[in-house]
Chain A
């Protein structure tokens, strides 16, 4: 981390890939990021609540814990109330509060439902029903707003072309989620959180689309549904609709198999080939420089915005070199030529503070 640049692997320093628990179904692969140490000096996810909705371009959050809180990037409310569904384009820090005197902060918001007016009756909404935006929309939300100010309609034009088969500007994201409800629910059954998990590196259609880290084991577990279903699952469906599904699973080399031990060897080679391809892509992304910008510092936590030609996002730094939160997402919404797994060589993974063995 120098001047105003850092590497993605700096963000992942101290974490490692759980290579025994990599999961891959259809066009999506989830590489778990684990660590023996979690960062506990931050509020639990259920202690940070939406407290008021008074302005289309702003939502008020309250921190009910005695620790600093992070409102995660792409936090989204989609509800049946006659109110405008909204998302939070930038992750935010909220200072410590108490149960009786929560610390409140108005944070910029974007509308994700153009043809609906009205404000939410926050008391009538189940707080745990929040969602998280898919990576491509998180990237657009960052691009179209800034940390302290957002136009409520900043995402509308992007939503119009987000999915080929549906105008999400007119119908809103709510129609996308209700149309694909069954498929989205399947993602929750297909993928599973693992022990000591704090985050994930996610591939869809062979491309690395997101690197997410949460501070605590409980937070990751509590947000599993939002991440796997609402965020990654929705992105997998979108890319399938826009480009077709690219399934990148390797095949066992049948030619060399005559006995069970040959089969075991061929199977191991197939698994290694799959992991080496993932390592290679992760290594390329990890070694890329990202510009960073300090957005806010409260006590020991700093909120940074990170950006390079391929990825954008936000990270929260504890002290001066350990990162406890990350939302790094692919920044290009239009599909570039895909990184095809089969075209990659099995190069060794570069040595870094982030390990994938």
Chain B
């Protein structure tokens, strides 16, 4: 993506480029230990996601990579941009950082997980609007606490020596690359629902170990276990 973005013109047709990116995202998604249901990804495409002169567009590209991979582990997935963007390979960067309104759109669409990907500098319609919105939603509408809101920040905040948070109601984790998504997801969920995070992570570790053991089994036993997994019976 960094290479494509650095070109003046991408010769690969957009559909083909999307297919290639999707294929890569699928490969990465296979290493992830979690699945999600109806996800709304809030994509900060304000100007501040440009990054630096030395690494232009890197925050935006990280956000894109996260979006592509998370789509693969979600049963339903919608991207909500903070600013209008045309249908091209890369989102257009510009204007303010309004997180509240796309989050509101995701709530209207009944998303049960909202993942905000942005630098955490909220400035429109005013700072703190997202916090107010989530606070009122959790207090008055989502009394069962079904909504999981997370914030993945692709930018290191020099002033906080960490990833800049956006609201306490959407725990923030710095994500520099998609390879760290398992840990990021664990940390983010752990900040709001520690027991759920531990449970999910333990289940992930058990699966990981179980797969390793399966790989070491002799062939007939492997087949028998595979059959058991399919039918629920040990076919020996």
Q: A residues bordering B, Cβ < 8 Å?
A: 20-26, 29, 182, 185-186, 189-195, 249-252, 254, 257-264, 266-267, 270-271, 274-275
Contacts and interface: CB of A to CB of B under 8 A. Distances in A.
A193 B47 contact: yes
Nearest to B125: A271
B124 A22 contact: yes
A194 B94 contact: yes
Interface stretch (B33-41, B135-143, B192-200): B135-143
B6 to A, nearest CB: 22
B159 A249 contact: no
B159 A24 contact: no
Interface string B115-150: 000010111111111001100110111000000000
B137 A195 contact: no
Contact of B123 (A24, A262, A263, A274): A24
A249 B128 contact: yes
Nearest to A224: B47
B97 interface: yes
Contact of A263 (B47, B94, B127, B140): B140
Nearest to A186: B159
Interface residues of B, number: 30
Contact of B96 (A21, A250, A267): A21
A194 B95 contact: yes
Nearest to B140: A257
B172 interface: no
Given A252-B132, A263-B133, A23 B141 contact: no
B100 interface: yes
Contacts of B119: 189
B47, B100, B124, B137 — most chain A CB neighbours (10 Å): B124
Contacts of A251: 132
Contacts of B126: 24-25, 29, 249-250, 274
Contact of A192 (B95, B101, B125): B95
B127 A22 contact: no
A264 B136 contact: no
Given A192-B48, A195-B94, A263 B141 contact: yes
A263 B107 contact: yes
A185 B46 CA distance: 18
Nearest to A250: B126
Contacts of A21: 95-96, 124
B123 A257 contact: no
A24 B137 contact: no
